[in-house]
Amino acid sequence: MPAAPLLSRQIWWLAVLATAGGLALIAFRRSVPAAIAGVILLLLPHLIGAPELEHVETNVPSSLSYQFMVAVTLTSLVFWSLLGALTSTIFARLDRDSA
């Protein structure tokens, strides 16, 4: 699959830092200016946008791309649902044992 230039994709990882910083400002600082700065840091990567190609040509059939997208989405749904259910079960059992 073709991809955007490597340098652009690596610079895009700064969005992770901006998101983490924004969440930290909102969660750990209890002031209005910090919350506003946190929201700005959270929105900044989305306003700038991820690097993209202008024209994408690939030999991969569109039906295969669609099947992959569906498989990844369903796998993620099952994984996160199981993780949430197991975590809540374990925490409920630990809470019951400590009482």
Model pLDDT, residue 1: 64
Concatenated DSSP letters of the chain: -----HHHHHHTTHHHHHHHHHHHHHHH--SHHHHHHHHHHHHHHHHH-----SS---SS-HHHHHHHHHHHHHHHHHHHHHHHHHHHHHHHHHHHHH-
Show pLDDT as tens, one digit a residue, over the chain (99 residues).
Answer: 677 788 888 888 888 889 999 999 999 998 999 999 999 999 988 888 878 777 777 888 989 989 999 999 999 999 999 999 999 999 999 988 887
